[in-house]
Amino acid sequence: MQADADTALKTFSLANNVREVDAADEMLVYDKAEAARIDKEAPWKKDPHYFKKVHISVIALIKMVIHARSGGIYEIMGMMQGKVRAADRSLVVMDSFALPVQGTETRVNAANEANEYMVAFKEGSERVGEKGDIFTWHSLTILYLCWALTLSRSTFLP
């Protein structure tokens, strides 16, 4: 059983170009001034194909999967926090969090309580030193093995 798990992990890692990064790696460092500069330039508005890659931290991925599994047959919704990385025209998902909403088997909509929760989460994150813009949402349901990820880059919170 362990050999199968090890093989599956290696296969996934190779297929998805998984690499370990040090905490000091620039990919995990949020620079507020750089984020403001990139947001002001907004190159994705001029080029709809601007983004070439999405880097997702293991922490963010695990949180999304746990959240999806907790929803059972119902679709769930959450937000992703991170940054734009101009060097390789990518989005870096550094963290994610669940929204207090529950959908049907195929649909979920965020209401005012979810908006208030996002603002409170962002403010709380900043107080404890977490960095990153809330830049997109995820919606998942395990029942249909669906994964919807918007990469609209319309920053939800400045």
* Secondary structure of 23-46 as H, E, C letters: CCCHHHCCCHHHHHHHHHHCHHHH
Provide block-wise average pLDDT over 10 residues at a time, the chain (158 residues). 82 80 75 91 91 88 85 81 91 88 66 81 83 74 52 44
Q: Is 22 within a domain? A: no
Structurally, the chain folds into a number of domains equal to: 1
User: Is pTM beyond 0.75 here?
Assistant: no
70: containing domain: 30-149
Q: What is the CATH number of the domain that holds 42?
A: 3.40.140.10
pLDDT value, residue 89: 94
Q: Residues 6 or more apart from 70 whose CB is under 8 A from it?
A: 76, 98
Q: Is 12 within a domain? A: no
Distance of CA 31 to the CA centre of its chain: 18
Work out the burial of residue 99: count CB atoms within 10 Å of its CB; fewer than 13 is exposed, 13-18 middle, 19 or more buried: buried
**Where are any strands of DSSP class E within 63-153?**
76-85, 90-98, 133-141, 146-149
Q: Is 51 within a domain? A: yes
Q: Is 41 within a domain? A: yes
pLDDT value, residue 34: 92
pLDDT value, residue 136: 72
Cα three-residue angle 135-140-142, rounded to 5 degrees: 160
Q: Is 158 within a domain? A: no
